Structure 1
Amino acid sequence: MRKWLTGIVATLAISMALFHLYSGGIQLFPATQQRAIHLALAFALVFLLHPFFKSKDSIEKERNGFGLLINSILAILSLVAGGYLTLRYLDLPLEMSSPTLTTIVIGVLVILLTLEVARRMLGMALPIIAIIFLVYAFIGDRLPLMIQHSGYSFEQIVTQIGLSNQGVFGIPLGVSASYIVLFVIFGAMLEKSGAGNMFLDLAMGLVGRYRGGAAKVSVVASALFGSISGSQVANVVTTGVLTIPLMKRGGYKPTYAAAVESVASTGGMILPPIMGAVAFLMADFLQISYAQVAFAALIPAIIYFVAIFIMVDLRAAKEGLQATEVENKVNLKELMFKKGHLMLPLVILVVLLMVFQMTANNAAFWAIISVPIACLFRKETRMSMGQIYSALQEGVKLSLMVVAACSAAGIVIGVIDMTGMGLRFSSVLLELSGGSLLLLCILTMFASIIMGMGLPPVASYLVLAILAAPAMVDLGVPPIAAHLFIFYYGTLSAITPPVALAAYAAAGLSKTSPMKVSLVACRLALVAFIVPYMFIFGPELILIGSTGSIIFATVTALMGVYAIAVSLEGYFTAKLNFFSRVILFAGSIMLIRVDVLSSVIGLVVIVLVLLYEGKFANKTNKAILLDKSL
């Protein structure tokens, strides 16, 4: 990259970081201004950093030839469009009601730039969806009655989608502009401070010494890192580069090692505090506090990771993988003494959000400021100005995917809002389900997985929150349960074939078949596919209900998860026979619904099978020992 271009990119990135720090900690700008500046700087960076084509040859050509000129022009147009809206934000409502040629040109420009930015950052999936919705806005009045709308003029569509707060500049971009970028910068600051490696060392110290320690390190490290990361793939690449080779050395097959990493990294998106930035969008959509979303998501996320942890433990026991597989032993006391202070910013963030109920942008601002301050506690962890500068740039660059997803999703949401399509889609789902909540959940699950393929969690959630969640709410599902349901399955699409991005990334690191990794990952994460049904039919798992019922639901869910893991892995204290595995699985399914009678029956079935298998295994082991002695 040419030096002058590098300088421009650095200037734009730092300007964007400082703008968000100022607006987050000192003074938030009016909504239209905040979103316009945010979009202009982000889009300009996308065009200067990400080429039209992805091949190495084309990247070099675009940075040195005619492509560089085109990208520069697109970057300038982004700044011009954002600048116009920033300066004219007070007059914009009047201009949209009686649009001038300039207003229409700016609206068209914003839409086209948004589609191109989304294509460069996210691939073709979301732009194609957005284009389909745009076409529907233009020709929907000529379609069959069931999906027909009343019709809108070109000016109405352009101003609503390209300029208003019900389109590109709607709630998703507003949340991105207000605080999501700050949280991404916070994650980059933590990583640059050495906290990312500290999480891996902490996981090694906690579980590395036990059987199957390598896989358990992957689960714990991916959970810790993923809780502050915004991408399943980024989580895989960051932690997997260390944990996958570790698992392979420990005796796990390459496919299984990659599957464990992809499942654990995907789970990081559903674990508070940040949840891939979706927690803040969900709070905004539902008009509830962030703390409510984080607390509601906590128990299901814990169940998810407990299930994976049990699965890898049982696999290690079945294959006889012992603690000696982990070469790098970490002294926890020494680690916490030397690097424990690096966790202080994360603690500060959680306390500010949960205890002091501080706004998300203020909490993120002070959490970012606390990172270099916390690093001062020990000489070897102190951050230089160069590291801080680099972290700010890196955070902004990592946030570009979120900006692209939010702005493109704004097109979809704008068309849905304008045409009333969301109500029609919900009606279709309700009609297909015949009023059955279970069937509606199954239909919504498939819709969420399909819609989430190839998209980051933010993008898939935004679209599904408008299209699918209302139908579930209409059947009596608590709104937060419905939104968590679609979020889970949209996120799990990262390991679901055929477009399993997290599985593909892990397969590349493990040098094995992506499709095999995806299939093994789905088997490992089967519990994750069941957990959302648990909190739909037992909302106590998302803290809706009395304390006693919440405790009962959590205990029975953990028992059910353990039984499912044993059933799937086919191992308890020894290998299980086929019928025991089937009965165990059936017993665990009875624990999905928080009902005393079905739960007691399920628990009795599980306990009886495990007691029988434990006794049978002991007899078998004694017989083997007797044969050996003879």
Structure 2
Amino acid sequence: MSHTDIDDHDEGLDLAKRMAEEEEGIGRRPKGPSKWVIPTVCVAWSLFQLSIASWLILDTTYIRSIHLGFALLVVYLNYPMFKTPLLGLKFLAAKNRIPIIDYAVALFACFSALYIAIDYEGMTLRYGDPIVRDIVIGLALVILLLEASRRVIGPALPVIAGAFIIYAFAGPYMPDLIAFKGVSMNRFVGQMTMSTEGIYGIPLDVSATIVFLFVLFGSMLDKAGAGQYFIRLALSLLGGFKGGPAKAAIMGSGLTGLVSGSSIANIVTTGTFTIPLMKKVGYPPTKAAAVEVAASTDGQLAPPIMGAAAFIIAEYVNVPYVEVIKAAAVPAFASYAALFYITHIEASKLGLRGMPRSELPPFFKTFVGGLQYVIPILVLLYELIVVRHSPEMAAFNAIWIMAIVMLLQRPIQAHLRKEPIGPAVKLAIKEIFSALAAGARNMVSVALATAAAGIIVGVVALGLGQLITAIIDTLSGGNIFLMLVITAVASLIIGMGLPTTATYIVMASLTAPAIVEIGGFNDFIVPLMSAHLFCFYFGILADDTPPVGLAAYAAAAIAKSPPIPTGIQGFMYDIRTAILPFMFIFNADLILHEIYSWPQGILIFVMACLGNFAFASATQGWFVARNKIWEVPFFLAVTLSLMRPDLIASLIGIPHDQRYWTYLIGLAIFGLMYLVQRPRMPKADTVATAA
């Protein structure tokens, strides 16, 4: 590798790391004594969250307001108003100090969030009839929350929330189709800032009670070194297979999804290792980056930890979190299996081989060397799935076990290396406090997204719900298929500017009830869980959707590939995920709705995987040889028959309870396509020469 290549790679890696830092909440790096202000506030926030999960009992409204208060305090201390100076006013973009004005705004923003807790009894008595002080502080909270969201998340969420606020007041003056009776200032402030129906709604409650603990647990795993362990473990297992580094990237990203809910942070953690290795074995830079984008984006899909939105789904649908895990399991693992299959296809097209075993870490030594990271994760899974404790209790128990691991890990390693124990103990304590601070930083975007999206939910709750359903029904002409396409496209567009959690909240509050209701108009029952997972999936897919697709920019920076083609290639890989929501809307078997038999569940999973493989072959142009154009409809037929056995059964007159027999049709067509393409299978040396 030339010096220029090394410099380019380092520059790309630096850009990706800067993007990850922005995503993870590192905005300013003050110098002098003020450098301790933000970490101290963040550690205090983490300790508060651990307290309410263990010994501190507070009313839910108090918890939500304190949670939001901490988030606003961190934002205004940590993020300058602008990234570059405006009109020569350098303090508006100061990154190496915290200006006095930001201290003042931070304290007032925190106070405005805490106001409902400070005067809780008084506000309860005058709900619906706020005094001037309530209105002034309430409006200040709305404005400061939207500004904080702009600083952290970008302008999209404040603009959308602002549009809903304007609509709430201007409703009576709108055209007849979208006319709305409107609200008064008193009702608006009461709904948004004096009740738990707006800013302090269910999304913020989930952020405050559950999500923070899972994000903190992920930060502790990350600081302890679990991310590096997962990718080394994946390489030791899969690196030697055809296209091995790409398969290792998928496994490593899936495991790192336990550590990080951010697709960009996932890319920086795993892609730093896997993208250069993929390029080394022969993947073009664009495809190497796109594989990492697709794998890291889907890290939020994999149960049992699926990002903040999954916990909010449980609250909205009013089911235990384990039911969300159950519903998400088949689509998520089928999606990952299909991505493994796609990397195999790409390796076959290019005639690639795996890495020599001599260059890979030894599996047993690697596995044993990181067992300390596996223990807290197993505890978390045991608590969630077997004992079925609440998510917050499961996360809290995993956190204190993780803290013990972090406290003992460095001293034991120092002892084995025959080094002094004292410095190792100090390092361990420093890492724990660093994880507490990082967990709070990582939570800022989630807390603000849930609070700001609460404004939209609150406006909808003011009476817009039925109107929105009617508007969507009119736009779709009452057609459930068109309705789903509109929802998917809207999710992708909104998701270009919003994090997954905010996209999900906005789309679910607007469209999930409409999907269920319009399904009913078509004499078709759509489980509420299906509708919410539909919004969730397309919110995630927005992460790599061009032209924005920030995840694609991060991976492209590491691979030195053009970002837009990388995003397009990543989206082409993710099409196999995009069909799954359409399938489980119409075939609730895929989310194991009312499926309680293990053999039945496994059958559905295997067929979903094969159906997704067939779809991947149709979209990637390759099965065991390059497809001919006339073969593509056959692969799509396989997909339909294996993912919609109910539809095939109804078409050929088989009773619904016998629908699984139609799987044989799809399997027969798939087998036939193998026999058709087998004579065209290229030999390894031929493909390598062509590549």
TM-score (norm 2): 0.86
Distance 1:82 1:607, change over 3 A: same
- The amino acid of 1:415's aligned partner reads V
- Quote the residue 1:329 is aligned against: 360
- Identify which of 650, 669, 677 aligns with 1:613: 677
Q: Show structure 2 runs of 5+ residues with no match.
A: 1-29, 415-424, 520-524, 647-658
1:61, CA displacement in angstroms? 6.2
Q: 1:517 aligns with which of 537, 551, 566?
A: 566
Q: Distance in 2 between matches of 1:149 and 1:589?
A: 42
Name the counterpart of 1:585.
636
3-state SS of paired residue (1:167) = coil
Q: Counterpart in 1 of 2:439? A: 395
Partner Cα separation in structure 1 for residue 401 and residue 85 of structure 2:
39
Instruction: Tell me, in whole angstroms, the C-alpha distance in 2 between the residues paired with 1:262 and 1:392.
Output: 28
Relative to structure 1, the CA distance from residue 181 to residue 327 in structure 2 (aligned partners, 3 Å threshold; closer, same or farther) is farther
Q: Aligned equivalents of 1:622 and 1:40: distance in 2?
A: 61
Residue 44 of structure 2 corresponds to which residue in structure 1?
15
- C-alpha deviation, 1:182, in angstroms: 1.2
TM-score scaled by length of structure 1: 0.94
In the other structure, the counterpart of 1:628 is: none
**Structure 1 residues 495-514: aligned runs within 5 Å:** 495-514=544-563
Residue 29, structure 1, aligned to residue 58, structure 2: yes
Pair 1:102–1:61, CA change in 2 (3 A): closer
Aligned mates of 1:65, 1:158 — CA distance in 2: 37
Partner of 2:619: 568
SS in 2 for 1:211: coil
* RMSD value, Cα: 2.4
Partner Cα distance (2:118, 2:569) in 1: 54
Cα distance in 2 for residues equivalent to 1:486 and 1:31 = 27
| 2:186 counterpart of 1:151 | no
Q: Secondary structure at the match of 2:195?
A: coil
Please state if 1:302 is matched with 2:333. Answer: yes
The equivalent position to 1:489 in structure 2, one of 538, 546, 565, is: 538
For residues 333 and 64 of structure 1, the distance between their equivalents in structure 2, rounded to whole angstroms, comes to 45
- Partner deviation per Cα, 1:252-272 (whole Å, 9 max, x = no partner): 111111111111111011111
Identity %: 37
Aligned partners of 2:554 and 2:32: how far apart in 1? 32
Q: How does 1:166-185 map to 2 (within 5 A)?
A: 166-185=197-216
Most deviating of 142-151 and 567-576: 567-576
Separation (CA, whole Å) in 2 of partners of 1:303 and 1:503:
23
In 2, Cα distance between equivalents of 1:535 and 1:3: 55
Return the alpha-carbon distance in structure 1 between the equivalents of residues 591 and 619 of structure 2: 26
8 Å CA contact 2:77, 2:98 repeated in 1: no
Residue deviations 1:55-85 (CA, integer Å, cap 9, x gap): 3898876448998122111111022223433
Which residue number in structure 2 is paired with residue 553 of structure 1? 604
What is the CA deviation profile of residues 381-410 of structure 1, one whole-angstrom value per residue up to 9, with x for unaligned ones?
987111100000011001101011011101
Structure 1 position 543 matched with structure 2 position 592: yes
Q: Deviations over 1:324-366 (max 9, x none)?
A: 3687412221122221121111111111122222122222111
Residue type matched to 1:438 in 2? F
Offset at residue 247 of structure 1 (A): 1.3
What does residue range 411-490 of structure 1 map to in structure 2 within 5 Å?
Answer: 411-418=455-462, 420-474=463-517, 475=519, 476-490=525-539
Task: Tell me the equivalent position of 2:72.
Answer: 43
Structure 1 moving runs of 4+ over 6 Å: 56-61, 64-67, 622-625
Matches within 5 A, 1:246-285: 246-285=277-316
Q: How does 1:370-389 map to 2 (within 5 A)?
A: 370-375=401-406, 376=408, 379-380=412-413, 384-389=428-433
Q: Distance in 2 between matches of 1:175 and 1:507?
A: 34
Residue 421 of structure 2 aligns with which residue?
A: none
What code does the residue aligned with 1:389 have?
F
Q: Give the partner amino acid of 1:577.
A: K
| Matching residue of 1:233 | 264
Which shows bigger deviation, 217-226 or 374-383?
374-383
- C-alpha change, 1:493 and 1:622, in structure 2 (3 Å) is closer
**Structure 1 SS opposite 2:526:** coil
Letter of the structure 2 residue corresponding to residue 565 of structure 1: A
| Corresponding letter in the other structure for 2:147 | E
Paired residue type of 1:226: G
Task: Report the CA distance shift for 1:496/1:83 in structure 2 as closer, same or farther (over 3 A).
Answer: closer
Question: What is the distance in 2 between the residues matched to 1:151 and 1:564?
Answer: 47
CA distance in 2, matches of 1:463, 1:363: 28
Deviations 1:267-304 (A, max 9, x none): 01111122121111110111100000011111111011
Structure 1, gaps ≥5 residues long = 626-630
Which residue in the other structure is 2:664 paired with? 600
